[in-house]
Amino acid sequence: MTPPDEDRWIHTPPRKSATFDDAAIAEIRRAAASGIYDIRGGGAKRRLPHFDDLLFLGASISRYPLEGYRERCATDVTIGARFAKKPITLKIPITIAGMSFGSLSARAKEALGRGASAVGTSTTTGDGGMTAEERAHSSLLVYQLLPSRYGMNPDDLRRADAIEIVVGQGAKPGGGGMLLGQKISRRVAEMRVLPEGIDQRSACRHPDWTGPDDLEIKIGELREITDWQKPIYIKVGASRPYYDTALAVKAGADAVVLDGMQGGTAATQEVFIEHVGIPTLAAIPPAVQALQELGMHRKVQLIVSGGIRTGADVAKALALGADAVSIGTAALVALGDNDPHLEEEYRALGTTAGAYDDWHEGRDPAGITTQDPVLSMRLDPVAAGRKLANYLSVLTLEAQAIARACGKSHLHNLEPEDLAALTVEAAAMARVPLVGTDWIPGRGRE
């Protein structure tokens, strides 16, 4: 006879599959019930090799640091001097990424402009054209030319301080945009010349050019229209960064914007966000290599985005060779997105603060990713702009603290030699040694 307390040894406890985990099973159920793919905002949520896997070495006997707060560590960056008659100079190497009016409210766009202008950096329009609010409140505004060409016109082109040709985004390289009906308000519809309230798909390919040779001619046209004054950037989603960077340089770009797969989006298929493109960390070294091989590093500026959160991330991106970084998600969080004080409202939407990503539904309790007139009034553009300015200042101070510790008088003097990697993967991708070794996987020893 088995004693009763031995029963539990006979049954194994329930065990969940690592392959069919809760998220995978929930998605199967959701797909079976709805028949349509999941759409959401944000970037890749899975864990990926990232800047967290890198460390700075700091000064030691062989190199000395700069005195914090006393010795200068400059942060400025000039973009567009290759061809533009009027290059732009940013006081800090952190810009606000393109986010459309449509995906964001007009007040959110205004807040981004206020925050960026206060610290001397630029903002960027997005898929949907330029609003008067963002032009008025952004001292430096980059105007995107996207496949959809929503709202594109020569007056705004001339009003812009720089032009960004969007080939792709890190969240969805090869994909077009979508903006669902809830957010196609009358104003958004009018700017895009679309019927109000429809689920809008935007093209993934430019209508009037294909391939690098056409792109060169397209850039030539934009330069002619604007009398060669404006810097012209090309934005690509990270997939083949070495070739895309080389082709962008060849096509005559002044700057390359490289957006990794962690980069946010307003709305895209989940499967796209999580499975197409490569991580930001892995994308930078090949892009820098292409620039160096062409003798264009620091002449054609490299602006990196996708998962930048801290001054350490900024410093790491720059140390790997970027000239500047760009932020989307973090800027929205600084404005007040996903704030825990709205927890009750997030709960009502079936989510929780920190996880809310149904930006396409236009019901954002923080009033940022919405066109709802009542919700959007919740965001005070002055106060939110102030928070963004604070955040941008902190990022800069943090990056400077690291740079000084590495003995650098300009953020651009940070270099791969200042870095080591915590994991073999990160070492291989970032092309810096694994900590405590001189091993860079994939590099033969000299």
Partner 1 sequence: MADIDLARSSVRDLNAALHRLGMDTNETRWRVRNPRGQHSVAVGLEAPVTVEIDGHVGYYCAGMNKDATVIVNGNAGQGVAENMMSGKVWVKGDASQAAGATGCGGLLVIDGNASARCGISMKGIDIVVKGDVGHLSAFMAQAGNLVVLGDAGEALGDSIYEARLFVRGKAHGLGADCVEKPMEDRHKAELRRLLDAAGLGREVDAGQFRRYGSARRLYHFHIDHAGSY
Q: Is the backbone of residue 80 left (phi > 0), alpha (psi -120 to 50) or beta? A: left
Cβ proximity of 106 and 372 under 8 Å: no
The CB-of-50 to partner 1 minimum distance in angstroms stands at: 32
The single residue among 59, 139, 187, 228 that binds partner 1, judged by CB under 8 A, is 228
Contact residues for 17 (Cβ-Cβ < 8 A; gap 6+): none
DSSP 256-309: EEEE-TT---SSEEHHHHHHSS--HHHHHHHHHHHHHHTT-BTTBEEEEESS--
**Cα–Cα distance for residue pair 231/234, rounded to 1 Å:** 10
Q: Considering CB distances under 5 to 8 angstroms, the limit depending on partner class, which of partner 1, ligand FMN, none binds residue 99?
A: ligand FMN
Please name which of 26, 58, 41 lies closest in space to residue 435, comparing C-alpha atoms: 58
The single residue among 49, 80, 113, 126 that binds ligand FMN, judged by CB under 6 A, is 126
The single residue among 129, 307, 367, 416 that binds ligand FMN, judged by CB under 6 A, is 307
The CB-of-250 to ligand FMN minimum distance in angstroms stands at: 22
The CB-of-237 to ligand FMN minimum distance in angstroms stands at: 8
Contact residues for 94 (Cβ-Cβ < 8 A; gap 6+): 121, 308, 314, 324, 325, 326, 327, 392, 395, 396
Please give the backbone phi and psi of residue 88, each rounded to the nearest 5 degrees, phi first: -110, 145
Q: Could you identify the residue written with the tokens 């106060």?
A: 383
Cβ proximity of 79 and 88 under 8 Å: yes
- Span near ligand FMN by CB under 6 A; candidates 23-31, 78-86, 322-330, 393-401: 322-330
Cβ proximity of 94 and 327 under 8 Å: yes
316 binds ligand FMN (CB under 6 A): no
Q: Between the CA of residue 50 and those of 104, 375, 427, what are the distances in Å?
A: 27, 35, 11
Cβ proximity of 181 and 197 under 8 Å: yes
User: Between residues 186 and 201, which has the closer beta carbon with respect to partner 1?
Assistant: 201
- Span near ligand FMN by CB under 6 A; candidates 93-101, 221-229, 382-390, 438-446: 93-101
Q: Considering CB distances under 5 to 8 angstroms, the limit depending on partner class, which of ligand FMN, partner 1, none binds residue 209?
A: partner 1
User: Between residues 308 and 405, which has the closer beta carbon with respect to ligand FMN?
Assistant: 308
**Cα–Cα distance for residue pair 234/219, rounded to 1 Å:** 10
Task: Tally Cβ neighbours within 10 Å of residue 72.
Answer: 11
The CB-of-380 to ligand FMN minimum distance in angstroms stands at: 19
DSSP 8-state symbol, 104: B
Greatest CA separation for the chain: 95
Q: Which of residues 176-195 bind partner 1 (CB under 8 A)?
A: 180-181, 192-195
- What residues pair up with 100 in beta bridges, in sequence order? none
User: Between residues 151 and 260, which has the closer beta carbon with respect to partner 1?
Assistant: 151
Residue nearest to ligand FMN (CB): 328
The CB-of-264 to ligand FMN minimum distance in angstroms stands at: 3
Going residue by residue from 152 to 171, which x/- string records binding to ligand FMN, judged by CB under 6 A?
--------------x--xx-
The CB-of-103 to partner 1 minimum distance in angstroms stands at: 17
Cβ proximity of 263 and 169 under 8 Å: yes
375 binds ligand FMN (CB under 6 A): no
Going residue by residue from 132 to 171, which x/- string records binding to partner 1, judged by CB under 8 A?
----------------xx--xxx--x--------------
Q: Considering CB distances under 5 to 8 angstroms, the limit depending on partner class, which of partner 1, ligand FMN, none binds residue 30?
A: none
Q: Which of residues 258-317 bind partner 1 (CB under 8 A)?
A: none
Side-chain-facing half-sphere of 270: CA atoms under 13 Å: 16
Task: Tally Cβ neighbours within 10 Å of residue 405.
Answer: 18
Q: Which two tokens stand for residue 12?
A: 């194994």
371 binds ligand FMN (CB under 6 A): no
- Span near partner 1 by CB under 8 A; candidates 28-36, 281-289, 319-327, 348-356: 28-36
- What residues pair up with 164 in beta bridges, in sequence order? 144, 233
Q: Is the backbone of residue 241 left (phi > 0), alpha (psi -120 to 50) or beta? A: alpha
Going residue by residue from 327 to 366, which x/- string records binding to partner 1, judged by CB under 8 A?
----------------------------------------
The single residue among 138, 245, 305, 371 that binds ligand FMN, judged by CB under 6 A, is 305
For binding to ligand FMN (CB under 6 A), which residues are involved?
Answer: 41, 43, 97-100, 103-104, 126-127, 144, 166, 169-170, 235, 259, 262-266, 305-308, 327-330, 359, 369
For binding to partner 1 (CB under 8 A), which residues are involved?
Answer: 34-36, 148-149, 152-154, 157, 180-181, 192-195, 198-199, 201, 203, 207-209, 214, 217-218, 220-221, 224-228
